[in-house]
Amino acid sequence: MNIKIKPVKKIVGELSVPGDKSISHRALMIGALALGPTKIKGLPESDDCNHTAKAFREMGIDIREESNTTIVEGKGLHGLKKPADPLYVGNSGTSMRILAGILAGQRFDSTITGDTGISARPMKRIVEPLSMMGVKIRAQGDGEYPPLAISGGSVKPITYKNLIASAQVKSAILFAGLYSKGTTKVIEPVRSRDHTERMLKYFGAKVKISGQSVSIKGGSELRARAVEIPGDISSASFFMAAATLLKGSRIKMLNISINPTRAGILKVLSRMGADIEVVNKKKLGSEPAADIIVRYSKTHGITITKEMVPSIIDELPVIFVLASLSKGVTTIEGVGELRVKETDRIRSMQDGLKAMGVVFRVKGDSVMIEGIRSLKGASLQSFGDHRTCMALAVAALAAEGDSDIEGTESISKSFPSFFDILFKLTLT
């Protein structure tokens, strides 16, 4: 599907965005492994989360909707049953990688498959540590690609020093560790998002966090808890960028996740000179949330070092857009992981922004963007990637001349209502 986007003057209004995708996956997974009914409020309508829910239904977990609440009837750590067929997770990397850690602990054989997009995404990063834990796990193409065939049931605790900061890898190891006798520890170069450890702890697991390492003691039963999912800061970031770039804008976003391992975008925007206010801070279960107000402001280029990248990994496409319209040069170091997301997001964003007139250089794992006064409308491609699509839509709103974007169906992965919400806020 294609969409035509006309430039707009500003965006104004109050909005909510769908529940955080990462937290939602964990709520479904941990709810299924806990004892008793976990009631989840605010689960988003997204393809990825639907795939996680479907996988657990196929393993005998009742997941149903009752008056705006999702109820997961958890059956305990060993309550899952062998699925009749391979578990199909579509395009969801989070489902595939974390589920592999959970299946490592089950006393049955299983297979996880996905669509053609996910079949090209790297899996050795979980296959290696899970194999070190004694799990029989096989991938295709030299152990790198899905499908994954797992013979679970006997897991040894390990201490694993990960060379990349990846919450999906960390979570797979922690879940497998839950099924071992002893303590499993993951050490990261920089802390990745910590939703798994927060929620496991909230459900009663023995989890310890110290600096860049997290450990879990195997064997502790999880007890069902109520979970309220805050709005997804990754989805909110598109509106933050649009409000910052369009003169006269003012938006208020309600109940957004501000987890420090995720909310690097707030720091980046402030350093670039954006006008951001975080108000009404609260805790929703194991996660912090707040309302975020953003007004138009002039911005300038900055240097973002690699330590910052894990906390903005999914926001980088829209940060590239902001940098394109900020005064001076923005340099972002250590963004190599973007090459193995739903598409190569360095290439997809370079392709789109270059077509709009931006000087976008790539040197090794660093990106350098020279800000320009105005973007020109262009024919843009999403490359089947939801975040490339939404980031380019923001660029198109702030451009001179109309644009069209191909592949808008990709947004159903995380934020199917993106364009509906956006067009309600835009004033031409």
Q: Which residues bind ligand S3P (CB under 6 A)?
A: 22, 25, 94, 166-168, 171, 192-193, 313-314, 337
Q: Which is nearer to ligand S3P, 90 or 377 (CB)?
A: 90
Q: Which is nearer to ligand S3P, 199 or 421 (CB)?
A: 199
Please check whether residue 370 is in contact with residue 343, taking contact to mean a CB–CB distance below 8 angstroms: no
| Known catalytic membership, residue 314 | yes
* Per-residue 3-state assignment (H helix, E strand, C coil) for 202-228: HCCCCEEEECCEEEEECCCCCECCCEE
Q: Which is nearer to ligand S3P, 22 or 38 (CB)?
A: 22
Provide the Cα torsion 167, 168, 173, 177; round to 10°: 80
Contacts of 347 (CB under 8 A, 6+ apart): 339, 383
Q: What radius of gyration, in Å, describes the C-alpha atoms of the chain? A: 21
Q: Which is nearer to ligand S3P, 99 or 205 (CB)?
A: 99
Please check whether residue 38 is in contact with residue 67, taking contact to mean a CB–CB distance below 8 angstroms: no
Strand ranges across the sheet with 2-5: 2-5, 403-406, 379-381
Q: How far apart are CA 353 and CA 330, in angstroms?
A: 14
- Provide the 8-state DSSP code for 230: P
Closest CA to 395 of 346, 343, 358: 358
Q: Which is nearer to ligand S3P, 115 or 337 (CB)?
A: 337
Element (H, E) at 143: helix 140-143
Place of tokens 């007890």: 223
DSSP-assigned states of every residue in 9-78: SEEEEEE--PBPHHHHHHHHHHHHHSEEEEEEE-----HHHHHHHHHHHTTT--EEEETTEEEEEEE-TT
**Strand, helix or coil at 310?**
helix
Shortest Å, Cβ 34 to ligand S3P: 19
Shortest Å, Cβ 225 to ligand S3P: 19
In angstroms, the Cα distances linking 84 to 57, 110, 146, 382, 396 are 11, 9, 19, 35, 46
Q: Which is nearer to ligand S3P, 139 or 246 (CB)?
A: 139
Shortest Å, Cβ 308 to ligand S3P: 14
Q: How far apart are CA 340 and CA 342, in angstroms?
A: 7
Shortest Å, Cβ 280 to ligand S3P: 25
CB-based closest residue to ligand S3P: 22
**Strand, helix or coil at 158?**
coil
Shortest Å, Cβ 181 to ligand S3P: 26
Q: How far apart are CA 115 and CA 96, in angstroms?
A: 11
Q: How far apart are CA 68 and CA 84, in angstroms?
A: 30
Question: Within its chain, how far is the Cα of 187 from the centroid?
Answer: 20
Shortest Å, Cβ 215 to ligand S3P: 18
Shortest Å, Cβ 246 to ligand S3P: 26
Q: Which is nearer to ligand S3P, 291 or 314 (CB)?
A: 314
Shortest Å, Cβ 250 to ligand S3P: 29
Q: Which is nearer to ligand S3P, 22 or 184 (CB)?
A: 22
Shortest Å, Cβ 115 to ligand S3P: 16
Catalytic residue chosen out of the listed positions 47, 232, 291, 314: 314
In angstroms, the Cα distances linking 288 to 195, 256, 262, 271, 282 are 11, 8, 11, 22, 6
Q: Which is nearer to ligand S3P, 167 or 290 (CB)?
A: 167
Provide the pairing of β-strand 213-217 with 207-210: antiparallel
Catalytic (active-site) positions: 314
